[in-house]
């Protein structure tokens, strides 16, 4: 199995036209070379003092393929790629963790009769490419240099782009739980990345595992595959493969990008090389195997461009000097009517601005690898004659702010920088090069794919099928007037990949809230009793809270709409979101 995964990594390199990394140089000598280069570049020895740019951080940055040491913003030295690769291999922990009996169980398989029926009715295939923390400002035309993401730009040119697609919670695990089940966080019970209200354990406790898109499609005869990130807290050596998946290659906290461990159909394997490229190779292999065998759903869930923002070797030197988009929200100071949590934000300084630029560049370079993955699987679909019978869906689980509203790196706010993310769909009958402004939500993914597969909207789903919009038509009568975003406040955890070390008291996180994002407005109810309302037509960056100026009737209508959403379940959620609280003057 280890030989197989190595072949997959090499196949990824070959498919993308990449040279295989050389590890001929002795690893110890290579690491010594890196340490010497770091000292020559002005990095201090370990123990030089708190806050100093230290040699260990420099070496770690080189091994992780960083461009700068983000703790000090000191540029990393130029070192040969072969030396970096050799040191990386030497530092990798090659011990495979102990595997539980649960994790070693093989995945389930579709019923042969159901698979035959699905083939007979010509059920379409689905390829879902999900990025991690990819904000709207990383989309082509929104910040990256022209041509930086050619495969994503091509998908947009050949499909439908949803300009108002919002997550149900701007945090990885609760958002992914909603995408998998079609349920809002208050119905999955998943609000955080860990603990009793989050993570894989919380997902299981909420009895969600049997209500996913994978279970529905596998029961309908689909071969189902997930490769990459599943849910926070999932441990490949401990946890069972969830029901509904025919093929499984999932990692745990695999944000390090190199030498990560996957549970591959019940066997633990260590992936050499860059993980996103290996996921591309696994996806290509699955498509090749599944061609002509019946419908399949392939979920390629990249860990990029999530922190620590590690790009592949081939892109380390690209786009020097790239600046973070400076919207009016960047560095904006809280106003007198801002919620109390936001009023705690410290003013940005020059170092904060420089860090936003450095992080944005690294996020783009990591996103380029996801773009390569998208291109590789689409090329394989075309080569196998499957492009005309396959829907390709690109989306993200949440966004990320890097200075908006004077907030340092983070997510979880109700503002668009965190909650508005890409959704692009291309495939049979989808209008090419079109954009829709219809409101859409993460809970809509399951009913959309189920409808395209001929199953209809499963019972218990809180979302709506987006199929009526894919041909370019206007939203049907009774379409939702707002989407719900639910957040449960929790403290930072050092073992959470969203934890930003070194921010200390400068890190500001929102109180618990329920937000309604309307077409041109944002309404937020905090558990502190505070209320916010932003009219996004004149104030698209949500800088002025004008809730105090609303008429009593409109304020009451907004509160009633929020109460209806808070209590909704299943089809009742669509009815609740169809209410237009702004119809009241």
Instruction: Concatenate the DSSP letters of all residues of 451-478 into one string.
Output: HHTT--PPTT--S---HHHHTSPPPPTT
pLDDT at residue 495, rounded to an integer:
56
Ramachandran category for residue 350: left, alpha or beta (phi over 0 → left; psi -120 to 50 → alpha): alpha
Beta bridge partners of 513: 487, 526
- Is residue 269's pLDDT more than 90? yes
Confidence at 20, pLDDT banded by 50, 70, 90: very low
Question: Do the beta carbons of residue 169 and residue 485 sit within 8 Å?
Answer: yes
For residue 304, which phi and psi values (nearest 5 degrees)? Answer: -85, 150
- Is residue 2's pLDDT more than 60? no
Report the half-sphere exposure of 390 (CA within 13 A, side-chain side): 28
Confidence at 494, pLDDT banded by 50, 70, 90: low
- Is residue 256's pLDDT more than 80? yes
pLDDT at residue 29, rounded to an integer:
86
Q: Reduced to 3 states, what is the DSSP secondary structure of residue 330?
A: strand
Could you report the per-residue pLDDT of 347-370, keeping only the tens digit for each?
A: 999 999 999 999 999 999 999 999
Segment 323-346 shows an average pLDDT of: 97
Segment 167-194 shows an average pLDDT of: 97
| CB contact set of 366 (below 8 Å; sequence gap of 6+) | 257, 276, 304, 305, 309, 310, 311, 312
pLDDT at residue 361, rounded to an integer:
97
Could you report the per-residue pLDDT of 414-472, keeping only the tens digit for each?
A: 999 999 999 999 999 999 999 999 999 999 999 999 999 999 888 889 999 999 999 99
In this structure, of 159-168, 173-182, 452-461, the range with the lowest mean pLDDT score is 452-461
Confidence at 1, pLDDT banded by 50, 70, 90: very low
| CB contact set of 77 (below 8 Å; sequence gap of 6+) | 37, 38, 40, 41, 58, 62
pLDDT at residue 6, rounded to an integer:
41
| CB contact set of 481 (below 8 Å; sequence gap of 6+) | 439, 518, 519, 577, 578, 579, 580, 581, 582
Distance between CA 438 and CA 165 in Å, rounded? 8
The H-assigned helical ranges of 220-309 are 275-290
Confidence at 67, pLDDT banded by 50, 70, 90: confident
152-188 as b/e, with b when 16 or more CB fall inside 10 Å? bbbbbebbbbbebbbbbbbbbbbbbbbbbbbbbbbbb
Distance between CA 103 and CA 101 in Å, rounded? 6
Segment 330-350 shows an average pLDDT of: 96
Domain boundaries, the chain: 2-91, 101-487, 504-583
The whole-chain average pLDDT of the chain stands at 91
Q: Is it true that the peptide bond before 305 is cis, omega within 30 degrees of 0? A: yes
Question: Do the beta carbons of residue 149 and residue 422 sit within 8 Å?
Answer: no
Distance between CA 160 and CA 469 in Å, rounded? 9
Question: Do the beta carbons of residue 376 and residue 129 sit within 8 Å?
Answer: no
Confidence at 15, pLDDT banded by 50, 70, 90: very low
pLDDT at residue 54, rounded to an integer:
85
pLDDT at residue 254, rounded to an integer:
94
Distance between CA 432 and CA 284 in Å, rounded? 24
Confidence at 193, pLDDT banded by 50, 70, 90: very high
pLDDT at residue 96, rounded to an integer:
66
Could you report the per-residue pLDDT of 366-401, keeping only the tens digit for each?
A: 999 999 999 999 999 999 999 999 999 999 999 999
| Four-residue CA torsion sign, 307, 313, 317, 319 | negative
In 3D, which of 460, 512, 485 has the Cα closest to residue 577? 485
Distance between CA 259 and CA 254 in Å, rounded? 9
The H-assigned helical ranges of 291-349 are none
The 3-class secondary structure across 22-41, one letter per residue, is CCCCCHHHHHHHHHHHHHHC
Distance between CA 69 and CA 140 in Å, rounded? 27
- Is residue 228's pLDDT more than 90? yes
- Is residue 152's pLDDT more than 60? yes
Distance between CA 22 and CA 317 in Å, rounded? 19
pLDDT at residue 95, rounded to an integer:
55
Percent of the chain with pLDDT over 90: 79
Distance between CA 93 and CA 368 in Å, rounded? 27
Fold for domain 101-487? Alkaline Phosphatase, subunit A (3.40.720)
Distance between CA 97 and CA 117 in Å, rounded? 41
Distance between CA 321 and CA 302 in Å, rounded? 26
In angstroms, the Cα distances linking 326 to 119, 138, 192, 322, 333 are 50, 13, 30, 12, 14
Which is higher by pLDDT, 410 or 19? 410
Confidence at 516, pLDDT banded by 50, 70, 90: very high
Beta bridge partners of 392: 127, 426
Nearest 10 degrees: Cα torsion 150, 152, 153, 155? 120
Write down how long the chain is.
Answer: 585
Question: Do the beta carbons of residue 334 and residue 532 sit within 8 Å?
Answer: no
Question: Do the beta carbons of residue 229 and residue 208 sit within 8 Å?
Answer: no
User: Exposed/middle/buried for 200, CB within 10 Å: 0-12, 13-18, 19+?
Assistant: buried
Which is higher by pLDDT, 192 or 23? 192
Sheet holding 267-274, edge to edge: 267-274, 258-264, 247-251, 223-229, 296-301, 125-131, 390-396, 423-426, 160-162, 434-436
Which is higher by pLDDT, 500 or 314? 314
Confidence at 25, pLDDT banded by 50, 70, 90: very low
Distance between CA 2 and CA 309 in Å, rounded? 27
The H-assigned helical ranges of 16-169 are 27-40, 55-63, 81-91, 101-104, 112-120, 150-158
Could you report the per-residue pLDDT of 529-575, keeping only the tens digit for each?
A: 999 999 999 999 999 999 999 999 999 999 999 999 999 999 999 99
In angstroms, the Cα distances linking 398 to 90, 192, 238, 414 are 34, 13, 27, 11
Distance between CA 75 and CA 317 in Å, rounded? 12
Enclosing H/E stretch for 191: none
């Amino acid at each position: 199995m280890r030989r197989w995964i190595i072949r997959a990594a090499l196949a990824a390199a070959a498919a993308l036209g990449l040279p295989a990394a050389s590890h001929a140089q002795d690893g110890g000598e290579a690491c010594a070379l890196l340490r010497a280069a770091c000292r020559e570049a002005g990095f201090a020895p370990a123990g030089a003092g708190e806050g100093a740019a230290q040699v260990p951080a420099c070496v770690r940055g080189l091994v992780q393929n960083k461009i700068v040491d983000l703790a000090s913003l000191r540029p990393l030295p130029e070192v040969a790629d072969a030396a970096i690769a050799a040191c990386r291999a030497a530092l990798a922990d090659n011990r495979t963790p102990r595997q539980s009996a649960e994790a070693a169980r093989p995945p389930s398989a579709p019923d042969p009769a159901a698979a035959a029926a699905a083939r007979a009715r010509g059920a379409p295939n689905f390829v879902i490419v999900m990025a991690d923390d990819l904000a709207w400002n990383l989309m082509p035309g929104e910040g990256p240099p022209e041509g930086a993401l050619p495969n994503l730009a091509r998908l947009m040119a050949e499909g439908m782009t949803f300009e108002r697609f919002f997550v149900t919670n701007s945090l990885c695990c609760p958002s992914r739980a909603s995408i998998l089940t079609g349920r809002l966080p208050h119905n999955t019970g998943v609000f955080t990345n860990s603990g009793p209200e989050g993570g894989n354990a919380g997902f299981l406790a909420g009895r969600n595992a049997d209500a996913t898109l994978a279970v529905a499609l596998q029961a309908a005869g689909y071969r189902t595959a997930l490769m990459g990130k599943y849910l926070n807290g999932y441990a490949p050596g401990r946890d069972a493969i969830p029901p509904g998946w025919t093929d499984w290659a999932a990692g745990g906290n695999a944000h390090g990008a190199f030498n990560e461990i996957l549970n591959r159909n019940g066997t633990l394997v260590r992936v050499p090389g860059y993980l996103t490229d290996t996921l591309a190779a696994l996806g290509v292999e699955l498509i090749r195997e599944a061609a002509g065998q019946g419908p399949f759903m392939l979920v390629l869930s990249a860990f990029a461009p999530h922190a620590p923002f590690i790009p592949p070797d081939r892109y380390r030197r690209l786009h020097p000097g790239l600046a973070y988009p400076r919207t009016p929200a960047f560095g904006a100071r809280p106003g007198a009517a801002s919620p109390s949590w936001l009023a705690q934000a410290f003013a940005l300084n020059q170092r904060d601005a420089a860090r936003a630029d450095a992080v944005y560049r690294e996020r783009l370079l990591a996103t380029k690898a996801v773009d390569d993955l998208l291109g590789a699987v689409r090329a394989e679909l075309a080569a196998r004659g499957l492009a005309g019978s396959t829907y390709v869906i690109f989306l993200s689980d949440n966004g990320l702010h890097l200075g908006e509203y004077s907030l340092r790196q983070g997510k979880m706010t109700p503002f668009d920088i965190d909650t508005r993310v890409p959704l692009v769909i291309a495939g049979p009958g989808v209008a090419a090069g079109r954009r829709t402004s219809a409101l859409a939500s993460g809970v809509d993914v399951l009913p959309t794919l189920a409808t395209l597969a001929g199953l209809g909207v499963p019972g218990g789903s809180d979302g709506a099928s987006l199929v009526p919009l894919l041909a370019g038509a206007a939203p049907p009568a009774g379409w939702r007037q707002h989407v719900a975003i639910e957040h449960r406040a929790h403290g930072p955890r050092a073992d959470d990949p969203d934890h930003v070390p070194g921010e200390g008291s400068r890190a500001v996180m929102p109180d618990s809230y329920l937000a309604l994002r309307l077409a041109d407005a944002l309404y937020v109810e905090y558990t502190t009793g505070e209320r916010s309302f932003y009219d996004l037509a004149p104030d698209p960056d949500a800088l002025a809270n004008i809730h105090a100026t609303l008429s009593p009737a409109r304020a009451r209508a907004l509160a009633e709409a929020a109460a209806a959403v808070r209590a909704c379940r299943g089809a009742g959620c669509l009815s609740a979101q169809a209410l237009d609280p702004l119809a009241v003057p």
